Structure 1
Amino acid sequence: MEDKIQDLNKTAAIPPPLGGRGAVGADIQVFAPATVANVVCGFDVLGFAVNEPGDEVVMRMTGKPGITISKITGDNGRLPMDPAKNTVSVSVQHYLKSIGRTDIGLDIELHKKMPIGSGLGSSSASTVAGLYAIKTLLGDESDVAGLLPFAMKGEEMACGHGHADNVAPALMGGFVLIRSYEPLDVVRLPHPEGLYCAIIFPDVDVPTREARQIIRKNIQMKDAVTQWGNIAGLVSGLFLNDIDLIGRSMKDILVEPVRSMLIPDFYKMREMAMEMGAVSFGISGSGPSVFAFTRDEDTAHRITQKLQQHLTGIKIGSNIYVSTINDKGPRVIG
Structure 2
Amino acid sequence: MSQLMSKLDGVSVFAPASIGNVSVGFDVLGLGVKPIDGTLLGDVVSIVLADEDSLTVVGEFAKKLPGDVKDNIVWHCLLLFNKAMAEAGYKTEKLALTLDKKMPVGSGLGSSACSVVAALEALNQFYQQYNQTGFDRKKMLLMMGEMEAQISGSLHYDNVAPCYLGGMQLMVPDADIISRNLPQFDDCFYVMAYPGISVSTKAAREVLPPEYSRADLIHFGQNLATFVDACHRNDKVQAFSVLTDVVAEPYRQHLLPKFAEAKQYLLSQGSLAVGISGSGPTLFCVVDDEDKAKEFEQWLTNNYLQTEADGNNYGFVHVCKVDSQGACVLNTDT
**2:48 is the alignment partner of 1:48:** no
Q: Distance in 2 between matches of 1:261 and 1:107?
A: 42
2:50 to 33, 40, 62: 62
1:112 to 84, 101, 108: 101
> CA shift at 1:24, angstroms?
7.3
**2:89 is the alignment partner of 1:96:** no
**2:260 is the alignment partner of 1:271:** no
> CA shift at 1:75, angstroms?
2.6
Aligned to 2:173, the other structure's residue is in SS state: strand
Q: Which residue matches 1:322?
A: 319
Q: Which residue matches 1:72?
A: 58
Aligned 1:13-52 pairs, distance under 5 A = 26-52=9-35
CA contact (8 A) 1:282 1:291 kept: yes
TM normalised by structure 2 equals 0.86
Higher mean displacement: 21-30 or 260-269? 21-30
Aligned to 1:180, the other structure's residue is in SS state: coil
Higher mean displacement: 290-299 or 118-127? 290-299
> CA shift at 1:324, angstroms?
0.8
Q: Which residue matches 1:18?
A: none
> CA shift at 1:142, angstroms?
5.4
Aligned 1:220-231 pairs, distance under 5 A = 220-231=213-224
Q: Distance in 2 between matches of 1:203 and 1:325?
A: 23
Q: Distance in 1 between matches of 2:297 and 2:226?
A: 26
CA contact (8 A) 2:138 2:176 kept: no
Give, as a single letter, the amino acid of the residue that structure 1 aligns with 2:289: D
Q: Distance in 2 between matches of 1:180 and 1:102?
A: 33
Q: Which residue matches 1:206?
A: 199
**2:294 is the alignment partner of 1:297:** no
Q: Distance in 1 between matches of 2:163 and 2:231?
A: 19
Give, as a single letter, the amino acid of the residue that structure 1 aligns with 2:71: K
Aligned to 2:17, the other structure's residue is in SS state: strand
1:175 to 157, 163, 168: 168
CA contact (8 A) 2:138 2:177 kept: no
CA contact (8 A) 1:24 1:63 kept: no
Aligned to 2:320, the other structure's residue is in SS state: strand
Q: Distance in 1 between matches of 2:14 and 2:83?
A: 24
Give, as a single letter, the amino acid of the residue that structure 2 aligns with 1:85: D
- What percent identity do the matched residue pairs reach? 30
CA contact (8 A) 2:45 2:115 kept: yes
Higher mean displacement: 117-126 or 266-275? 266-275
Q: Which residue matches 1:232?
A: 225
> CA shift at 1:290, angstroms?
0.7
Q: Distance in 2 between matches of 1:31 and 1:95?
A: 18
Computed over aligned residues only, the root mean square deviation of the Cα atoms, in angstroms, reads 2.3
Give, as a single letter, the amino acid of the residue that structure 1 aligns with 2:159: N
Q: Which residue matches 1:4?
A: none
> CA shift at 1:182, angstroms?
5.9
1:157 to 150, 163, 176: 150
Give, as a single letter, the amino acid of the residue that structure 1 aligns with 2:27: D
> CA shift at 1:23, angstroms?
6.6
Instruction: Name structure 2 gaps, 5 residues minimum.
Output: 36-40
Q: Distance in 2 between matches of 1:23 and 1:82?
A: 32
1:248 to 241, 247, 251: 241
CA contact (8 A) 2:60 2:101 kept: yes
CA contact (8 A) 1:54 1:113 kept: yes
Q: Which residue matches 1:125?
A: 114
Q: Which residue matches 1:311?
A: 304
Instruction: Name structure 1 gaps, 5 residues minimum.
Output: 1-20
CA contact (8 A) 1:274 1:281 kept: yes
> CA shift at 1:246, angstroms?
1.4
Aligned to 2:178, the other structure's residue is in SS state: strand
C-alpha deviations, 1:109-139, integer Å up to 9, x for none?
Answer: 1111121111000111111111111111111
Describe the shift of the 1:181–1:300 C-alpha distance in structure 2 as closer, same or farther (beyond 3 A). Answer: farther
> CA shift at 1:153, angstroms?
2.3
Aligned to 1:138, the other structure's residue is in SS state: helix
Describe the shift of the 1:255–1:181 C-alpha distance in structure 2 as closer, same or farther (beyond 3 A). Answer: farther
